[in-house]
Structure 1
């Protein structure tokens, strides 16, 4: 049973290219992306409650993650609902999260969902990087 759960998690989150295991304490990597959407708003992306950048439509952010439990959150403003997803980030692994804006009558939300590495790489074709704020 444990092997089935691990296999399902591996398929869901994808795997990094073969090679030696990464050094403990090295960062994990996150690619969070949005495909083209009609008149989509820009959302703030926070990692563990720290603002990491803004994600407009047809853009992606590539960020380093600390190993361990990580909270990824999207927020936009008063009329939006913040959405979160949590990952158990492992050193050296790359995680892909797809973001899709959902518009309701009075609110908006940027839904976040982990996808496989294959799906993430396929859907990144033609998407440009988003600007990442520089550290001060």
Structure 2
């Protein structure tokens, strides 16, 4: 009986922090989309440094997020500038991020901007989901 009481105390005092946490029952929802653009280039979208997928024009990517600080990044290649957006995800909320490619003389960037839920819902209506990467 003492072992059942002393084990959690010992783990806490020893600094062991890999104790499983309960799963979030109410995640945030993220939708990143691009409308039709002339000759747009696909970009890789990363969430907290993990690849979510590739986003071409007239497509969207979506995922559930754990609540908290989230880093969203667009990247392509050496000739493009990575764009980063920080988001404070709240449980149960849906976030829409609009992506627009900006082309300069020597570089390209996929700009990321949060939009209202009403605008996002309206603009995503005629857009198809992007292909999911294999293994997901």
> Does TM-score exceed 0.5, indicating one fold?
yes
Distance (Å, rounded) in 2 between the aligned partners of 1:93 and 1:135: 27
Q: Do the aligned residues in 2 keep the contact of 1:45 with 1:72 (CA within 8 Å)?
A: yes
Q: Judge conservation of contact 2:24–2:66 (CA < 8 Å) in 1.
A: no
Deviations 1:63-121 (A, max 9, x none): 11121000000001110000011110011110000000000001000000000000001
Which deviates more, 107-116 or 26-35?
26-35
Structure 1: any 5+ residue segments left out of the alignment? 1-22
TM-score after normalising by structure 1: 0.79
Q: Show CA shifts across 1:16-39 (max 9, x none).
A: xxxxxxx95532110000000000
2:74 matches 1:61: no
C-alpha RMSD of matched pairs (Å): 1.5
Structure with larger Rg: 2
Q: Which runs of 5+ in 2 are unaligned?
A: 1-22
| TM-score (normalised: structure 2) | 0.79
What SS does the aligned partner of 2:119 have? helix
Q: 1:134 to 1:64 in 2, by over 3 A?
A: farther
Q: 2:118: which partner in 1? A: 118
Q: Residue 127 of structure 2 corresponds to which residue in structure 1?
A: 127
